[in-house]
Structure 1
Amino acid sequence: MDSTKEKIFRCAIDLFNDKGVSHVTLRDIAEKVGISIGNLAYHFKNKDYIIAEAFGRMEEEKMNILSGVQQIPSFENINNQVEPLLNISKKYRFFFLDTVQILKSYPAIKHKHQAYVENSIRYVKAVLDYSVGSGNMSPEPEDDKGLYWRVATTAWMHLYFWPAEVAIRGKSDPDIGEVKKMMWGVIKPYLTEKGIHNFETIKKEMYASA
């Protein structure tokens, strides 16, 4: 059975996702849980603490996945981890829909979030570097240093911003197959013949599930 603190946390996340952080009060959360505001405040003094807890959990969950990809950076493993990453974003989608406002309102999270973003892109870049070393991607051109950092950033953006894209376009859920295709579309131009051959297996899987 969940503890009271965990119930508060889960109910708060549900409300944040449904209404947006700025439209949810401690009273709303307490009523949804079925406890007094005083009891809620015993576990979380205010919304700042709940949002900080949510960000910490989200960061840990995503970094665990990215670490696993970095340990086994095969194309198949990269492709298979897209859905778990998107599911985490969906779980905490309020954060991605209200990112700018949250970072303005909660400065303590802002610096942690910036570090999280940079670390995430570094993980993607490390996977690209491995792909170069394994012969699946061409070496970065001498006359275009920083190219693969930009490629890593663009691939990361497709994964990070899908909740906003879904909301803006009025979709109910993301088309995970399309997100994968967009991500690989950024990387594919730099694949070697070996890389293209290895990509064919996951390409068939992506289009078969479309």
Structure 2
Amino acid sequence: MKTKERILLGALDLFNLNAATEVTTNDLARGLKMSPGNLYFHYKNKEQIVRELFKRLAQETAMIWKPQTKKSNNKEKMEMVEFIDRNLQLYWKYRFFHRELYTLRKVDPELSRLWRAHLQKMRRLMIVLHKHWVRAGVMLPIQSKYEMEFLGELLFVASNSFMQFFETVDRSPNQRTVDKARKHILRMLMPYLSVETQNSFAIFFKEK
């Protein structure tokens, strides 16, 4: 494994375990068993490492948001559940970023710019994805531009803040935390789903 890759993976683990805002480059070098000079040879500061990790997050998100090839209606419904799960797993993988989003952006204007560009791209992809699921009979059409923006903002806020919320409730967030988030997001989507899709998803809300 190349040194730059090892630094990124080590930083991701350390940021997720602790708080990225509290981890220093010396902490990172110590955890990777390398000299600070070697780390600085590859990345000039911690902010650059955070930005590189965010670029990976953005790339992986865009891959998930790309509509899949045409499938049967039942497979499209499960594709929606898989889509939500894959997004949440990605949030879990890069949980430090969503947990510390405001602070990280505040100290790094370039990261803030990248984040805004990412949101704009996600808004465009959401419209494409919605049309895809309407054609498949999974979702209902949304004619109002205001309603579409409202739904998009609601989902973005919920998805990006669920880690913060559940960390205040669950001492050690885990896979069960991700399952809770999926259930909440499906509930938010229910009014926008076709009746057939709503009936198919009812199983997720049964008391266990």
Equivalence for 1:118:
120
Question: Which segments of 5 or more consecutive residues in structure 1 lack a partner in the other structure?
Answer: none
Tell me the C-alpha RMSD between the 2 structures. 2.6
Question: Which segments of 5 or more consecutive residues in structure 2 lack a partner in the other structure?
Answer: none
> Per-residue CA shift, 1:50-79, capped at 9, x if unaligned?
111101111111111111459779222121
- Aligned-pair distance for 1:146? 1.6
Equivalence for 1:30:
29
Query: TM-score, structure 2 length as denominator?
Result: 0.84
AA in 2 matched with 1:155: L
Equivalence for 1:166:
166
**Identity rate of aligned residues, in percent?**
23
Provide closer, same or farther for how the CA distance between residues 41 and 25 of structure 1 changes in structure 2, counting only shifts above 3 A: same
Match runs of 1:1-210 below 5 Å = 2-68=1-67, 74-140=76-142, 145-171=145-171, 172-173=173-174, 174-191=176-193, 195-204=194-203, 206-207=204-205
> Using the alignment, how far apart are the partners of 1:158 and 1:99 within structure 2?
13
Aligned length: 203
8 A Cα contact 1:62 1:85, kept in partner: yes
**65-74 or 166-175, which deviates more:** 65-74
8 A Cα contact 1:137 1:190, kept in partner: yes
8 A Cα contact 1:48 1:106, kept in partner: yes
AA in 1 matched with 2:111: I
AA in 2 matched with 1:89: Y
Query: TM-score, structure 1 length as denominator?
Result: 0.83
Counterpart secondary structure, 1:22: coil
Provide closer, same or farther for how the CA distance between residues 137 and 88 of structure 1 changes in structure 2, counting only shifts above 3 A: closer
Q: Which runs of 4+ in 1 moved over 6 A?
A: 70-73
Provide closer, same or farther for how the CA distance between residues 201 and 50 of structure 1 changes in structure 2, counting only shifts above 3 A: same
